Chains A and B, each alone.
Chain A
């Protein structure tokens, strides 16, 4: 069984894994990182989105062995010192979640979207989140939250 080394939310793990083990099952079943849920089995819904070396991936479509040597950030590792990430706060402020099942993936995808376009238009946000499905909100408030999150992250960067 291959041994992998992976850092998840700042903690380093060494795990023996079956080659077929999905990253999301490593996170959930082995490491207890249940903040990242599974919503489908065809990488359509995006609920399981995490950051792998700084880029968003659907962790149901990545094998644990592919994450060997990588740095994984989940929704649980996003905030610092017990406070929420600006994007998490923006989702709260704009009521951009109801049942909350898609939320971890949606927040990760939103942050990734801003890497390429820190001030996205509504159209860019809607296109950029196409790979993340939400059944509760109709997306209106998610779009607003991403805009607000973008503004706050922009301010956070520009503040010395």
Chain B
């Protein structure tokens, strides 16, 4: 009897290498004659470049070459933006190395190529650049005024969009309750632990690029288009990649420039960023001003929701920059029913690092806004915040449900997840304690935060992406080959960077083909090995890529069935498959899949017209997104004298559909929650009034350590997705999407009796303390 692998908490195949230092990070790469690249970066947020002199650098020992933007001008093209979200969008030219104007601190203006990294660093000092300062543009609202200095000639508005559904005017007309709030989604730095690194080499004819990227396949296409190197002569390898969180879903200046350097010099080159360089120049996340208006009846039923966003694009539109707010556009209404919905977004250029995908990408922003607003509605009506949600959410018997924003949620059970979470959390008991501490005037107040989130995952149906004007499709590719010895080699177009694809895909294949888990190997991340793929982002790997592999297995099995019938001298219809063997129904006569693999290899006795191989491939393109959901509950102690917030307990009950590997799912949820808490309490990219990034190091940009975070209590409910045969929904982003509003709701809940109805993120002790002080001063004035 074979154990079903899918659903087992299998320990990861990936671990041994990573635990013993046998890793292949891009920066590990060494090749004969390898040269090291370093970039000189703009210290000005906005300036005209009037002179660049690299001659001093060229004379230094160990320096092979030094170039300015002018030296690349004829061949560097423009970094791509793959998502023209509106008719009015302005996509400015984005040279990988600035030629005449810099638009953010950190933009590359020159580079040095030397025999080691220390010599390259020395040589940067010898480059002279003259700048003529221009006015920085740092505030989105000011940027849209007619008298604002311009980031680009066409102005500071990148685009504007509007979505309408239902009669929004009617919803707000005579509404008994209107909640009107503005929330700030602060700018974040993704901070994958592995800094970006790129290496390039050529044999004189074709080129190889190693990059710490999430998207080797997309990158290959883009680099071919930008550089004119024929696609078939360009190989992109994502070796071990140390985390991404969206930050490595990009076509970067450094990837293009390293490739051009190898083309110019005919030599292998490598560039690895320092963390301070990375904080300035890895694309940032979030950065929106969200104006939310919600109309409701006196009993709390939502009538309509109006969303108006300002989204900071930064200085340029990178790969998916303008699309990030649009990924949230259909999710502000979340799990709630309503009569009307209006969404508007204006993308704004500023002289800061461009923003782009960061874990959740648009969906955490939307979820934060609605979940904060639901708490405000509850407070306005003096209702329990869970009760207000219950009154408005889609009931489990109503699935599939088409929301006001037009998404069709295929499955879910908000009641079940919430009931489980409330029981684990001890909701009523903590509320009782809260009441007691309020009555006593305890200086440490207790707050309870709720987040009943959903999200759209498994990006995405190609047809919908096309309608949204996204440059590429959302399918994924997988191939499966039985080797002569009966082992299995799987190739996936997904490109993992910590998620555990090798383990999870092995489980799927083991079940599908009836082979041992240990007999499956999974290859990925190299365009010469994995010739087709759409890569890893948007919680899409399992939901799309895993299913492609499953489909390829089904095709292999079909082939094997025919071969088995031929060898067993019966009709394919009389052959049944179980436990890795094809059996003639009602007899002991059988062929194992391993025997069939060998038979296909020797090809001594194949049916006429059958090829000598037992392999296949498949692409999968989902018909719908998947919609994980869940209920997260957070209890915080807030010291009203110091502003210190301490998370006392955190319960998360997530419904990610069927689970392939609960260990991996748990890990994803843990890490996701931590990143969402980090936005709520710790992290913010801060620019000063001149446009200098102040948070360039990990000493200034506060990533939470083990000492800053609590243990999380997790559980699951399971409503299988109906859009794929495994019933899986994806889990990469759920925790991050859910946890930020849970934490801030808890803080506001603790302080509401003191007159506070919002604290801007990150809710540092200083911010909380100031909010309390301001409120106290207002009280004195009154």
Contacts and interface: CB of A to CB of B under 8 A. Distances in A.
A and B held together in a complex: yes
Interface of A: 18, 20-21, 25, 28-29, 32-42, 44-45, 47, 74-76, 78-79, 84, 88, 91-93, 95, 97-104, 107, 122, 125-127, 129-143
B25 A34 contact: yes
Contact of A79 (B20, B497, B675, B711): B20
B183 to A, nearest CB: 24
A74 B699 CA distance: 25
Contacts of B192: 99, 101, 135
B671 A34 contact: no
8 contacts: A28-B27, A39-B194, A84-B19, A88-B19, A95-B12, A95-B663, A99-B18, A140-B712
Contact of A92 (B11, B673, B675, B711): B11
Contact of A130 (B191, B668, B706): B706
Interface in B634-682: 663-664, 666-668, 670-675
Nearest to B664: A95
B525 interface: no
A136 B711 contact: no
Contacts of A45: 193, 275, 698
A88 B506 CA distance: 23
B294 interface: no
Interface string B7-51: 000011011111111110101101000000000000000000000
Interface string B482-517: 000000000000000111100000000000000000
Nearest to A90: B19
Nearest to A144: B711
B707 A136 contact: no
Given A95-B666, A140-B712, A135 B191 contact: yes
B274 interface: yes
Nearest to A74: B21
A138 B670 CA distance: 5
A38 B674 contact: no
B276 interface: yes
Most A CB within 10 A of own CB, among B240, B707, B712 = B707
Interface stretch (B241-249, B372-380, B395-403, B563-571): B241-249
A133 B697 CA distance: 13
Top 8 A-B pairs, shortest CB-CB distance? A35-B21, A100-B18, A99-B498, A101-B242, A138-B674, A44-B698, A138-B670, A40-B275
A129 B707 contact: yes
B195 interface: yes
Contact of B243 (A32, A101, A143): A101
Contacts of B11: 92-93, 95
Given A98-B671, A135-B192, A135-B193, A37 B23 contact: yes
Contact of B707 (A29, A92, A130, A134): A130
B674 A40 contact: no
B16 A102 contact: no
Contacts of B178: none
Interface residues of B, number: 59
B415 interface: no
Given A34-B25, A95-B11, A138-B673, A40 B705 contact: no
A98 B667 contact: yes
Contacts of B675: 135, 138
Contacts of A97: 15, 18-19
Interface in B612-653: none
A138 B245 CA distance: 14
Nearest to A143: B706
Contacts of A33: 21
A102 B383 CA distance: 45
Nearest to B19: A88
Given A97-B15, A104-B21, A41 B706 contact: no
Contact of B697 (A36, A37, A44, A122): A44
Interface of B: 11-12, 14-23, 25, 27-28, 30, 116-118, 191-195, 240-243, 245, 272, 274-276, 497-500, 663-664, 666-668, 670-675, 697-699, 703, 705-707, 709, 711-712, 735
A150 to B, nearest CB: 15
Nearest to B245: A135
Contact of A134 (B15, B16, B193): B193
A39 B671 contact: no
Contacts of A122: 711
Contacts of B21: 33-36, 74-76, 104
Contacts of B274: 41
A88 B30 CA distance: 27
Contacts of A18: 118
Contact of B500 (A25, A92, A98, A142): A98
Given A101-B193, A127-B707, A138-B674, A37 B243 contact: no
B670 A140 contact: yes
A39 B278 CA distance: 11
B497, B671, B712: residue with the most chain A Cβ atoms closer than 10 Å? B671
Nearest to A103: B18
Contact of B25 (A21, A29, A37): A37
Contacts of B664: 95
Contacts of B698: 40, 42, 44-45, 133
A73 to B, nearest CB: 11
Given A100-B240, A101-B193, A92 B275 contact: no
Contacts of A88: 19-20
A38 B195 contact: yes
A34 B197 CA distance: 14
A99 B670 contact: no
B37 to A, nearest CB: 15
B194 A99 contact: yes
Given A42-B697, A99-B242, A141-B670, A28 B276 contact: no
B194 A37 contact: yes
Given A35-B21, A92-B11, A101-B193, A41 B275 contact: yes
A84 B337 CA distance: 54
B699 A37 contact: no
A104 B276 CA distance: 22
Given A28-B27, A37-B25, A75-B19, 9 more contacts: A84-B16, A95-B11, A101-B193, A104-B21, A125-B706, A138-B670, A138-B709, A139-B705, A141-B667
A78 B20 CA distance: 8
Contact of A35 (B23, B241, B706): B23
B706 A142 contact: yes
Contacts of B241: 99
Contacts of B706: 125-127, 129-130, 132, 134, 139, 142-143
A118 to B, nearest CB: 19
Identify the interface centre among A20, A38, A41: most chain B CB within 10 Å of its CB. A41
A48 to B, nearest CB: 11
Nearest to B28: A34
A140 B341 CA distance: 39
B491 to A, nearest CB: 21
A147 B481 CA distance: 41
A153 to B, nearest CB: 15
B243 A99 contact: yes
B711 A143 contact: yes
Nearest to A35: B21
Nearest to B212: A101
- Among A32, A93, A103, the one with the most B-chain Cβ atoms within 10 Å of its Cβ is A103
A135 B668 CA distance: 11
Given A98-B671, A138-B673, A140-B670, A39 B275 contact: yes
Contacts of B12: 92, 95
B767 to A, nearest CB: 22
A100 B14 contact: yes
B705 A34 contact: no
A134 B243 CA distance: 10
Nearest to B500: A98
Given A38-B195, A75-B21, A92-B16, A135 B667 contact: no
A124 B242 CA distance: 27
